[in-house]
Amino acid sequence: MIFNEKKTDSRSRARTGTLINDHGIIETPVFMPVGTVGAVKTFSPEELEYFNSQIILGNTYHLFLRPGIEIIHKAGGLHEFISWKKPILTDSGGFQVFSLAKLNKISDEGVDFQSHIDGSKHMLSPETSMKIQRNLGADIIMAFDECPPGNADSKKIKNAVERTSKWMSRCFKWLKDNPPLYGYEQTIFPILQGGVDHVLRKQSIQELLPYSKCGIAIGGLAVGEEKQAMMETIEFCTELLPTSQPRYLMGVGKPTDIINAVRMGVDMFDCVMPTRNGRNGHIFTSKGVINIRNQKYKEDFSQLDSNSSHKWGRQFSKAYVRHLFNINEVLGIRISSTLNLAFYQDLMITMRNEINNSTFDQWARKILQEMKHMKGM
């Protein structure tokens, strides 16, 4: 995989670039829709392409439990199994083991856990995570890391940094001894830890950079810490990371946070927010987030979002989509999730254009000021 920086904003660290791999070229900054179990909920691959989605996510933990790596391997890898021809990134499963699994027990060897589905017992280690991800066959695979919660004390955070570094070494060794299975390259991204402690973040960067060949992730944020501390930590990390590689900010997804992180030099983003919020009736519009279930929309026959790039924003009224949610009609979820994904991908396209046109800083200041007065942004 090759990363080429294209254009850098003169007043910030914002930049555009291209990430070239065997399944295509990714224009950055990029937002990656989350297809945890092999599907971005309710969307077909063709629809995702229509929204200008360049790369999607899958998750090691969930796909390991269902349908299992044997089935995906027999299908020829995740690309073939889900009929997605563009790039895929898979998370290592570490975050899910710590947040979803029951009775997890962490040791230097790995994590013993019980499935959140049926209570079955499993062990996930750096080696097993890499084995699963080799079988999934994603273009970008994530190192197995320990992600402590936002309220963890300094000792736990320090232990997580040290363990993550040791696990990275084991991931790297296993991949070296076990080549890709499907005839194309897989690139591993290390995951930085350290909470909002800058000393520990610097330690994590120093220990993990030797393993970073074409990309590194900023992990362990958006897990309950204060917003200002999170943004200061992102900026601290991007200042120390090499410009020759893409920076991936994991799990941070509010529009204002994405814009500010792009200003700081982040290139890649993922979040469940567009689809999860859509399933709950929260729709991202050009005027802020609306909760379509609210009573005030019962007789509101105005368009959902007259400024949306997707025709459904102009085609359907608020009253109609509220009705769909009230009767549990899946079309309501489809409409809200569609408009949310369109909103996010349009935001990324706009930022790439503004950076390339040398107008990003002025645009960012203006839009961030406007979003201050918008709900949910």
Instruction: Determine contact, residues 43/54, Cβ cutoff 8 Å.
Output: no
Phi, psi of 242 (to 5 degrees): -65, 145
247-249 and 111-114 strand pairing: unpaired
Residues in contact with 366: Cβ distance below 8 Å, sequence separation at least 6, in sequence order = none
- The active-site residue, picked from 139, 257, 270, 346, is 270
Closest CA to 189 of 66, 16, 32, 8: 32
User: Cα(377)–Cα(375) distance, rounded to whole angstroms?
Assistant: 6
User: Cα(153)–Cα(150) distance, rounded to whole angstroms?
Assistant: 9
- Supply 12's token pair: 């910030």
User: Cα(244)–Cα(342) distance, rounded to whole angstroms?
Assistant: 30
91 is catalytic: yes
User: Cα(257)–Cα(273) distance, rounded to whole angstroms?
Assistant: 12
- The active-site residue, picked from 91, 139, 145, 267, is 91
User: Cα(284)–Cα(295) distance, rounded to whole angstroms?
Assistant: 18
137-171 per-residue burial string, b: 16 or more CB within 10 A, e: under 16: bbbbbbbbbbbbebebeeeebbbbbbbbbebbebb
300 is catalytic: no
DSSP class of 317: B
Distances (CA, A) of 30 to 188, 204, 322: 18, 24, 31
End-to-end Cα distance, the chain: 34
Q: Helix H segments across 316-359? A: 318-326, 330-356
User: Cα(312)–Cα(340) distance, rounded to whole angstroms?
Assistant: 11
Phi, psi of 87 (to 5 degrees): -65, 155
Catalytic residues: 91, 270
